[in-house]
């Protein structure tokens, strides 16, 4: 999708408030949140963390996955999106959110005034659950030190949890998304907002405007 297509797409959705739009919110944001306590102090960079994951065999997801999908984006991203786990296209390419849902996430990122490579995108689990089933508790808990360390290294100003699985995992709540979204919470000291997963938005397009209400909260916090 070209930049022009994205802009047209966002405009179609009403995903832009030109008076508030700030293409470089990171320049005006307050200092980052205090880093969370380290669980793996010896791993000091995302590159080292990625190497340490390597050809991970720690949970059963390794049996059917093609690639570990570590995550990608800016090492000092102000904004970090966390989804649930790789799908087929992500498994094939080793990159997060590159399928249809990823294109919608790209539009959301763009509407917030960022390029995809200025934010960070990761998942609760780094390997594809077979058939895109929900990740199981043991898979999420085995993978969570890696996500935690990513968050500690990136030190985002804001985490956006995409969908129920990520929201439940990161908040500890089991409330439905309609109750969780639009309320600021924290994950290890970092402000966290939950919103609908882009795949859900593709199935329920009328909720795209609701998701944009959430993104406006993110934009306001980034620039406050």
List of residues contacting ligand URA (CB under 6 A): 83-87, 90, 96-97, 99, 101, 123, 199
Q: How far is the CB of 214 from ligand URA (least distance, A)?
A: 16
The pair phi, psi for residue 180, each rounded to 5°, is -80, -35
Nearer to ligand URA, 26 or 148 (CB): 148
Nearer to ligand URA, 48 or 89 (CB): 89
Nearest by Cα to 51 from 59, 61, 40: 40
Nearer to ligand URA, 167 or 222 (CB): 167
Nearer to ligand URA, 26 or 59 (CB): 59
Q: How far is the CB of 29 from ligand URA (least distance, A)?
A: 26
Q: How far is the CB of 224 from ligand URA (least distance, A)?
A: 28
Q: How far is the CB of 217 from ligand URA (least distance, A)?
A: 21
Determine the residue with CB nearest ligand URA.
83
Nearer to ligand URA, 78 or 83 (CB): 83
Q: How far is the CB of 21 from ligand URA (least distance, A)?
A: 27
- Measured at the CA of 167, the angle between CA 182 and CA 137, to 5 degrees, comes to 165
DSSP 77-146: -SEEEEES---HHHHHHT-SS-SHHHHHHHHHHHHTT--GGGSEEEESSSSPPGGGPPPPHHHHHHHHHH
CA atoms within 13 A on the CB side of 200: 16
């Amino acid at each position: 999708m070209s930049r022009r297509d994205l802009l047209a797409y966002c405009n179609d959705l009403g995903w832009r408030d030109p008076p508030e739009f700030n293409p470089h919110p990171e320049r005006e944001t307050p200092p980052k949140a205090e880093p969370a306590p380290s669980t793996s102090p010896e791993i000091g960079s995302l590159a080292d963390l990625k190497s340490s994951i390597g050809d991970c065999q720690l949970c059963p997801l390794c049996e059917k996955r093609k690639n570990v999908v570590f995550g990608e984006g800016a090492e000092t991203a102000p904004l970090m999106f966390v989804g649930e786990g790789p799908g087929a296209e992500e498994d094939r390419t080793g990159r997060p959110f590159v399928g249809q849902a990823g294109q919608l996430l790209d539009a959301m990122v763009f509407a917030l005034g960022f390029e995809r490579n200025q934010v960070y995108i990761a998942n609760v689990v780094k390997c594809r659950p077979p058939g895109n089933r929900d990740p199981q508790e043991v898979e999420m808990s085995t993978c969570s030190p890696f996500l935690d360390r990513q968050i500690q290294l990136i030190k985002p100003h804001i985490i956006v949890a995409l969908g129920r699985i990520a929201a439940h995992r990161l908040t500890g709540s089991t409330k439905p998304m309609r109750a969780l979204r639009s309320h600021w919470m924290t994950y290890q000291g970092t402000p966290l907002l939950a919103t609908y997963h882009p795949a859900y938005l593709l199935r329920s397009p009328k909720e795209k405007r609701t998701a944009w209400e959430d993104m406006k909260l993110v934009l306001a916090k980034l620039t406050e």
